[in-house]
Amino acid sequence: MTGGGVRAVVRKLRGKTIEIKSNGELDAMRAAGAVVASTLTLLEGAARPGVSTAELDESAEQSIRDAGAVPSFLGYHGFPGSICTSVNHQIVHGIPDPEQVLADGDLLSIDCGAILDGWHGDAAVTIEVGAVGETDRKLSAACRSALHAGIEAAQPGGRLTDISHTVESAVLAAAAVDGVEYGIVADYGGHGIGTAMHMDPFLPNIGKPGRGPRLVAGMALAIEPMLTAGSHLTEELDDGWTVVTLDRSRAVHWEHTVAITPDGPVVLTTS
């Protein structure tokens, strides 16, 4: 799934083989991330009542290919779509389907990846379809704020789980303000990214700070909290991909690809 001409340094950091990129390589990842960002912006405008998730998938593939890139997800371990479309109680890895037509009040999480010149970008957004309830808006806002808190914690010299702890703390703070309990999905989380979509290290969304590999300039991480309006427990459907909440409560997912630089974290998946 990766192209030619790719060079990266691989280092052993606390037992993990982690890819360290040069400034030029991070620039190449930023170009891939821009393709992802523009595609997600397109889909945010297209996701409305009456539109199927398969139609969104077709639009996403066209957008990615028009930019000279390749969808990361299409064919990945047999995945049949160019994006993941997870609706309401679906958390991640939802398969685009012509029979899944969006309705007013749906929460739609779209995960999108693109490969450009051998480098990967990966991001996710949760879209409010039509008019959604206040509870759903707060759930999505809590997840998005936790993502941005996690990004700010991705500082050179820190430890991997500083990000995890900050995400968890941000969720708990939002839950206290909202007067609810949010479930933090622990079975799935972020990851290293670069010349492959999923690389070491795995980045959990909960945990104590000060653990795991030290964050160094040149690392790139996909930071991606997933929250539920109920239990954190999940199950995978018979399709072998779609992950849903066990109690069928609604779920949201936000993600960015982030570079660790000497000056702090830099989001790579922006237009």
Contact 242, 86 (CB under 8 A): yes
Distances (CA, A) of 58 to 35, 85, 254: 15, 12, 21
Over the Cα atoms of the chain, what is R_g? 17
Distances (CA, A) of 31 to 118, 121, 198, 233: 11, 8, 18, 36
Distances (CA, A) of 13 to 134, 170, 200, 260, 261: 43, 27, 10, 15, 17
**Is pLDDT above 80 for 2?**
no
168-183 burial, b at 16+ Cβ within 10 Å, e below that, comes to bbbbbebbeeeeeebb
Q: Would you give the DSSP letter of residue 31? A: H
pLDDT score at 13: 52
Question: What percent of the chain shows pLDDT beyond 70?
Answer: 94
Band of residue 271 on the pLDDT scale cut at 50, 70, 90: confident
What is the helix (H) or strand (E) element at residue 102, kind and residue range? none
pLDDT score at 17: 87
CA angle 229, 49, 99 (to 5 degrees): 85
Higher pLDDT, 21 or 5: 21
Three-state SS at 149? helix
**Is pLDDT above 60 for 51?**
yes
Question: 233: buried, middle or exposed (CB in 10 Å: 19+, 13-18, 0-12)?
Answer: middle
Contact 265, 33 (CB under 8 A): no
Band of residue 258 on the pLDDT scale cut at 50, 70, 90: very high
**Is pLDDT above 80 for 250?**
yes
pLDDT score at 14: 54
For the stretch 134-148, pLDDT in tens is 999 999 999 999 999
**Is pLDDT above 80 for 10?**
no
CA angle 37, 51, 42 (to 5 degrees): 20
For the stretch 180-231, pLDDT in tens is 999 999 999 999 999 999 999 999 999 999 999 999 999 999 999 999 999 9
Q: Tell me which residue has tokens 């509870």.
A: 135
**Is pLDDT above 50 for 71?**
yes
For the stretch 77-130, pLDDT in tens is 999 999 999 999 999 999 999 999 999 999 999 999 999 999 999 999 999 999
pLDDT score at 213: 96
CA angle 229, 258, 53 (to 5 degrees): 50
Q: How many angstroms separate the most distant Cα atoms in the chain?
A: 52
- Average pLDDT score over residue span 13-20: 75
Phi-psi group of 168: left, alpha or beta (phi > 0 → left; psi -120 to 50 → alpha; rest → beta): alpha
pLDDT score at 261: 98
- Average pLDDT score over residue span 18-32: 97
Give every CB contact of residue 72 below 8 A, 6+ residues apart in sequence.
Answer: 1, 113, 114, 115, 120, 121, 122, 197
**Is pLDDT above 60 for 4?**
no
**Is pLDDT above 60 for 5?**
no
- Average pLDDT score over residue span 43-65: 98
